[in-house]
Amino acid sequence: MAEEAEPTEVEEADTPSASDQPSKRRLIIAGAAALVVLVIIGGFLLTRGDKPSATPSTTSAPRRPTTTTIKELPAGTYEVASVKASVPKIHVLAEAPAEWESTPKSVLTDDLTELPPLSQTSAPKRPAIPSIEEPVTGRYATESGWSFTNPGPYDPPQPMTFLVTQRRGIWLEVLLPVRPNGTVGYIKAEDVDITTTQKRIEIHVADHKLVLYDNNEVIVESSIVTGVSFSPTPTGVFYVTDIVPYRNPSGFYGPYALATNGYSEMLNEFEDGVPVLAIHGTNRPELLGQDKSNGCIRLPNDVITKIAGTIGLGIPILIWP
């Protein structure tokens, strides 16, 4: 593979050159005929998909994520739901099922973790991603909510994964990879495998710092690049949906990118795709400690490599102002 060209510097935010952009690689989704174009904004991008026939759905208002009175979990423990391999597409309800409020919680944990504010609540109104009019490869709005293909749209194929915010009976409330950021939906527990993690990533935008914790133990701490003022890094609770390796580890995005469920709150598209928030490496380490991206978090390549080899899908990401 030919070496990637150096990225072009533009005012504050860096914009990669055409030969740098992963959008030039088409990725085949396992078990489907669709092709994916993968790009990073200052974020990752998924291609827009074919428009299904449906009416617009209503997204539930963003809620404060909590770890989900039968089973007790230790403080700092998060539940992750991975769609079973036998489920090629999972359907998500935008509104809680009728029995939700009358059903006791199935899981209880001491919620001792303060959570960052969700910048989406004060951001300019942007179109929903996905929507009926603008579906995204592998991610679709439906009459009752959304549907997601399994595995997800990145290469290599990985299980569609959600961060669980609450469990009640046969239903899970989960954080979704849709915009507005912070949107939750409802899935059936029988469609997923549930695991737990005590790892979390915390990002402090103003301090340009990222910390990976295992419970309260610091595993990694690093300086980072964050978003410019006109395309800032969103804040709130997010999670890792996919761990994506790059064929040229010395390229613009480094050896790995961690795709998240979040989206830019300023951009509606980027290079014909949708602006997915990501954490990735960089070939411009001299920019660390500065606001130079379009919203993504950039790390030194050795740090993103260590993180990618340490975490699993669904790990929560707490992004503070």
Q: What is the pLDDT of residues 61-75, one digit of tens each?
A: 444 444 444 678 888
274 vs 43 pLDDT, higher one: 274
Q: In whole angstroms, what is the distance from residue 303 CA to residue 279 CA?
A: 11
Q: In whole angstroms, what is the distance from residue 246 CA to residue 151 CA?
A: 19
What's the mean per-residue pLDDT of the chain? 83
**Do the Cβ atoms of 188 and 203 come closer than 8 Å?**
no
Confidence bin at 102 (pLDDT 50/70/90)? very high
Confidence bin at 111 (pLDDT 50/70/90)? low
Q: What is the pLDDT of residue 35?
A: 29
Mean pLDDT of 193-211: 98
103 vs 9 pLDDT, higher one: 103
Residue closest to 107 by CA, chosen among 204, 173, 26: 173
Beta-carbon contacts of 308 under 8 Å, excluding residues fewer than 6 positions away, are 243, 245, 255, 256, 258
- Structural domain boundaries of the chain? 8-49+199-320, 71-196
Confidence bin at 34 (pLDDT 50/70/90)? very low
Task: Say whether pLDDT at 302 is over 50.
Answer: yes
Q: What is the pLDDT of residue 270?
A: 77
304 φ, ψ to 5°? -65, -30
Question: Largest Cα–Cα distance in the chain?
Answer: 60
> How many CA atoms within 13 Å lie on the side-chain side of 265?
20
- In CATH, what class is 8-49+199-320? mainly beta
**DSSP assignment of 171-218:** EEEEE-SSBSTT-EEEEEGGGEEEEEE-EEEEEETTTTEEEEEETTEE
List beta partners, residue 36. 27
Q: What is the pLDDT of residue 272?
A: 75
Q: What is the pLDDT of residue 108?
A: 77
Task: Say whether pLDDT at 28 is over 90.
Answer: no
Task: Say whether pLDDT at 139 is over 90.
Answer: yes
Q: What is the pLDDT of residue 113?
A: 65
Q: Which residues of 281-305 are buried (b: 16+ CB within 10 A; e: fewer)?
A: bbbbeebbebbbbbbbbbbbbebbb
Choose the weakest-confidence range: 103-112, 251-260, 266-275.
103-112
CB atoms within 10 A of CB 93: 19
Q: In whole angstroms, what is the distance from residue 127 CA to residue 3 CA?
A: 37
Q: What is the pLDDT of residue 71?
A: 79
Confidence bin at 292 (pLDDT 50/70/90)? very high
Choose the weakest-confidence range: 20-34, 115-129, 218-232, 253-267.
20-34
Mean pLDDT of 208-230: 98
Q: In whole angstroms, what is the distance from residue 40 CA to residue 321 CA?
A: 22
Q: What is the pLDDT of residue 77?
A: 94
Confidence bin at 26 (pLDDT 50/70/90)? very low
Taken as a whole, the chain contains a residue count of: 321
Residue closest to 238 by CA, chosen among 190, 301, 154, 296: 296
Choose the weakest-confidence range: 21-25, 27-31, 142-146, 254-258.
27-31
Confidence bin at 22 (pLDDT 50/70/90)? very low
Q: Which residues of 214-234 are buried (b: 16+ CB within 10 A; e: fewer)?
A: eeeeeebebbbbbbbeebbbb
Choose the weakest-confidence range: 112-116, 130-134, 251-255, 271-275.
112-116
